Amino acid sequence: MSSEDAEAPDPDGGGADADIDHENAAQDVVAVDPDDAPQGTVNRLDAHTGDGIRHRAFTCLVFDGDGRILLAQRAPTKRLWDGHWDGTVASHPVEGQSQEDATETRLEEELGITPDQYDDLRVTDRFEYKRYYPNEGVEWEVCAVLKVTLSDTDLDPDPAEIGGRLWVDYDHLHENPALYRQLRLCPWFEIAMRRDFA
Protein backbone atom coordinates (compact mmCIF):
# COMPACT_ATOMS: atom_id res chain seq x y z
CA MET A 1 0.00 0.00 0.00
CA SER A 2 1.49 3.35 -0.96
CA SER A 3 1.04 6.54 1.01
CA GLU A 4 -1.53 8.92 -0.52
CA ASP A 5 -0.60 12.54 -1.13
CA ALA A 6 2.29 12.92 1.30
CA GLU A 7 3.50 16.50 1.65
CA ALA A 8 6.77 17.85 2.98
CA PRO A 9 6.66 19.37 6.44
CA ASP A 10 6.77 23.05 7.16
CA PRO A 11 10.36 23.77 8.26
CA ASP A 12 8.99 25.16 11.51
CA GLY A 13 6.35 22.45 11.85
CA GLY A 14 5.74 19.93 14.61
CA GLY A 15 5.76 22.58 17.33
CA ALA A 16 3.64 20.66 19.83
CA ASP A 17 5.20 21.91 23.08
CA ALA A 18 2.17 24.09 23.79
CA ASP A 19 -0.10 21.03 23.48
CA ILE A 20 1.58 18.70 25.98
CA ASP A 21 -1.41 19.11 28.31
CA HIS A 22 -3.95 18.47 25.56
CA GLU A 23 -6.72 16.16 26.80
CA ASN A 24 -5.73 13.36 24.39
CA ALA A 25 -1.97 13.60 24.95
CA ALA A 26 -1.81 10.66 27.37
CA GLN A 27 -3.80 8.27 25.15
CA ASP A 28 -2.21 5.54 23.06
CA VAL A 29 -2.90 4.65 19.44
CA VAL A 30 -2.09 1.44 17.56
CA ALA A 31 1.07 1.68 15.46
CA VAL A 32 0.76 -0.31 12.22
CA ASP A 33 2.76 -1.32 9.17
CA PRO A 34 1.63 -0.34 5.65
CA ASP A 35 -0.72 -3.35 5.60
CA ASP A 36 -2.41 -2.30 8.86
CA ALA A 37 -0.74 -5.08 10.90
CA PRO A 38 -0.35 -3.95 14.52
CA GLN A 39 3.14 -2.97 15.68
CA GLY A 40 2.37 -2.18 19.32
CA THR A 41 1.02 1.02 20.81
CA VAL A 42 2.47 4.52 20.82
CA ASN A 43 1.56 7.72 22.58
CA ARG A 44 -1.02 9.67 20.61
CA LEU A 45 0.87 12.97 20.83
CA ASP A 46 4.11 11.30 19.71
CA ALA A 47 2.27 9.76 16.75
CA HIS A 48 1.14 13.21 15.61
CA THR A 49 4.33 15.20 16.25
CA GLY A 50 7.43 15.77 14.11
CA ASP A 51 7.50 13.24 11.28
CA GLY A 52 4.85 11.18 13.06
CA ILE A 53 4.38 7.45 13.56
CA ARG A 54 2.13 5.44 11.24
CA HIS A 55 -0.96 4.37 13.16
CA ARG A 56 -4.47 2.99 12.76
CA ALA A 57 -7.40 5.36 12.26
CA PHE A 58 -10.88 5.52 10.79
CA THR A 59 -13.28 7.94 9.20
CA CYS A 60 -17.01 7.33 9.05
CA LEU A 61 -19.21 8.80 6.33
CA VAL A 62 -22.73 9.36 7.67
CA PHE A 63 -25.63 9.53 5.17
CA ASP A 64 -29.36 10.07 5.31
CA GLY A 65 -31.96 8.23 3.25
CA ASP A 66 -31.73 10.80 0.43
CA GLY A 67 -28.04 10.24 -0.25
CA ARG A 68 -26.88 13.34 1.56
CA ILE A 69 -23.68 13.21 3.60
CA LEU A 70 -23.37 14.89 6.97
CA LEU A 71 -20.40 17.24 7.11
CA ALA A 72 -19.27 18.02 10.66
CA GLN A 73 -16.97 20.90 11.45
CA ARG A 74 -14.14 20.08 13.82
CA ALA A 75 -14.25 22.19 16.97
CA PRO A 76 -11.84 25.14 17.13
CA THR A 77 -10.11 23.55 20.13
CA LYS A 78 -8.87 20.60 18.05
CA ARG A 79 -5.06 20.55 17.77
CA LEU A 80 -5.02 19.43 14.13
CA TRP A 81 -7.39 20.58 11.37
CA ASP A 82 -9.39 22.73 13.79
CA GLY A 83 -12.34 24.37 12.07
CA HIS A 84 -12.11 22.08 9.03
CA TRP A 85 -15.09 20.07 7.83
CA ASP A 86 -15.06 16.29 8.07
CA GLY A 87 -17.35 13.77 6.51
CA THR A 88 -18.35 12.88 9.21
CA VAL A 89 -16.30 11.68 12.21
CA ALA A 90 -12.72 10.45 12.47
CA SER A 91 -10.69 8.99 15.31
CA HIS A 92 -8.52 6.05 16.38
CA PRO A 93 -9.46 2.61 17.73
CA VAL A 94 -7.66 1.57 20.90
CA GLU A 95 -5.71 -1.67 21.14
CA GLY A 96 -8.03 -4.67 20.75
CA GLN A 97 -10.97 -2.58 19.54
CA SER A 98 -12.56 -3.18 16.13
CA GLN A 99 -13.06 -0.34 13.70
CA GLU A 100 -16.83 -0.84 13.94
CA ASP A 101 -16.86 -0.67 17.74
CA ALA A 102 -14.61 2.40 17.77
CA THR A 103 -16.82 4.11 15.20
CA GLU A 104 -19.99 3.30 17.09
CA THR A 105 -18.48 4.89 20.19
CA ARG A 106 -17.37 8.06 18.40
CA LEU A 107 -20.69 8.53 16.61
CA GLU A 108 -22.41 8.62 19.98
CA GLU A 109 -19.75 10.73 21.73
CA GLU A 110 -19.43 13.36 18.99
CA LEU A 111 -22.91 13.54 17.47
CA GLY A 112 -25.24 11.72 19.85
CA ILE A 113 -25.96 9.10 17.14
CA THR A 114 -26.95 5.83 18.80
CA PRO A 115 -26.97 2.31 17.28
CA ASP A 116 -30.78 2.27 17.11
CA GLN A 117 -30.54 4.98 14.41
CA TYR A 118 -28.77 2.68 11.90
CA ASP A 119 -28.20 -0.99 11.09
CA ASP A 120 -25.69 -0.93 8.22
CA LEU A 121 -22.36 0.25 9.70
CA ARG A 122 -19.63 -1.32 7.57
CA VAL A 123 -16.00 -0.92 6.45
CA THR A 124 -15.85 -0.01 2.74
CA ASP A 125 -12.21 0.99 2.11
CA ARG A 126 -8.77 1.44 3.66
CA PHE A 127 -5.83 3.62 2.62
CA GLU A 128 -2.59 5.07 3.93
CA TYR A 129 -1.88 8.79 3.81
CA LYS A 130 0.44 11.34 5.39
CA ARG A 131 -0.31 15.05 5.76
CA TYR A 132 1.42 17.77 7.75
CA TYR A 133 -0.49 20.52 9.53
CA PRO A 134 1.78 23.60 9.57
CA ASN A 135 3.44 24.33 12.91
CA GLU A 136 1.31 21.81 14.78
CA GLY A 137 1.84 18.21 13.72
CA VAL A 138 1.10 15.44 11.28
CA GLU A 139 -1.37 12.71 10.41
CA TRP A 140 0.25 9.48 9.19
CA GLU A 141 -2.48 6.91 9.20
CA VAL A 142 -3.76 3.70 7.73
CA CYS A 143 -7.33 4.89 7.64
CA ALA A 144 -10.36 2.62 7.41
CA VAL A 145 -13.44 4.12 5.78
CA LEU A 146 -16.81 3.17 7.23
CA LYS A 147 -20.27 4.13 6.03
CA VAL A 148 -23.61 4.28 7.75
CA THR A 149 -27.09 5.42 6.74
CA LEU A 150 -29.31 6.92 9.40
CA SER A 151 -32.97 5.96 9.63
CA ASP A 152 -33.34 8.71 12.23
CA THR A 153 -31.31 11.90 11.67
CA ASP A 154 -31.80 13.41 15.13
CA LEU A 155 -28.44 14.65 16.41
CA ASP A 156 -27.10 15.82 19.76
CA PRO A 157 -23.58 17.07 18.98
CA ASP A 158 -20.94 17.69 21.62
CA PRO A 159 -19.73 21.30 21.15
CA ALA A 160 -16.29 20.29 22.40
CA GLU A 161 -16.02 18.05 19.32
CA ILE A 162 -18.33 19.54 16.68
CA GLY A 163 -18.43 23.19 15.63
CA GLY A 164 -21.11 23.01 12.95
CA ARG A 165 -23.18 20.61 10.86
CA LEU A 166 -24.24 20.59 7.22
CA TRP A 167 -26.16 18.02 5.14
CA VAL A 168 -24.82 18.02 1.56
CA ASP A 169 -25.70 16.13 -1.62
CA TYR A 170 -22.74 13.71 -1.84
CA ASP A 171 -22.67 13.49 -5.64
CA HIS A 172 -22.84 17.27 -5.96
CA LEU A 173 -20.00 17.73 -3.47
CA HIS A 174 -17.78 15.33 -5.40
CA GLU A 175 -18.61 16.77 -8.81
CA ASN A 176 -18.27 20.43 -7.76
CA PRO A 177 -15.41 20.69 -5.24
CA ALA A 178 -14.75 24.36 -6.06
CA LEU A 179 -18.20 25.29 -4.77
CA TYR A 180 -17.32 23.89 -1.35
CA ARG A 181 -13.72 25.11 -1.12
CA GLN A 182 -14.56 27.67 1.56
CA LEU A 183 -15.44 24.80 3.89
CA ARG A 184 -11.81 23.59 4.04
CA LEU A 185 -12.42 19.84 3.96
CA CYS A 186 -10.23 17.49 6.02
CA PRO A 187 -7.59 15.74 3.87
CA TRP A 188 -8.57 12.21 4.90
CA PHE A 189 -12.18 12.90 3.91
CA GLU A 190 -11.13 14.32 0.53
CA ILE A 191 -9.08 11.19 -0.15
CA ALA A 192 -11.90 8.87 0.98
CA MET A 193 -14.41 10.68 -1.24
CA ARG A 194 -12.11 10.66 -4.28
CA ARG A 195 -11.52 6.92 -3.86
CA ASP A 196 -15.25 6.34 -3.33
CA PHE A 197 -16.03 7.73 -6.78
CA ALA A 198 -13.01 6.23 -8.58
Residues with a catalytic annotation lie at: 141
Q: Which residues are annotated as a binding site for Mn(2+)?
A: 48, 55, 92, 139, 141
Distance CA 65, CA 148 (A): 10
Closest residue by Cα to residue 73 from 160, 11, 195, 149:
160
β-pair partners for 138: 132
Closest residue by Cα to residue 62 from 123, 126, 147:
147
Q: Which residues are annotated as a binding site for Mg(2+)?
A: 110
Closest residue by Cα to residue 88 from 65, 108, 107, 115:
107
**Cβ neighbours around 135 below 10 Å, total:** 13
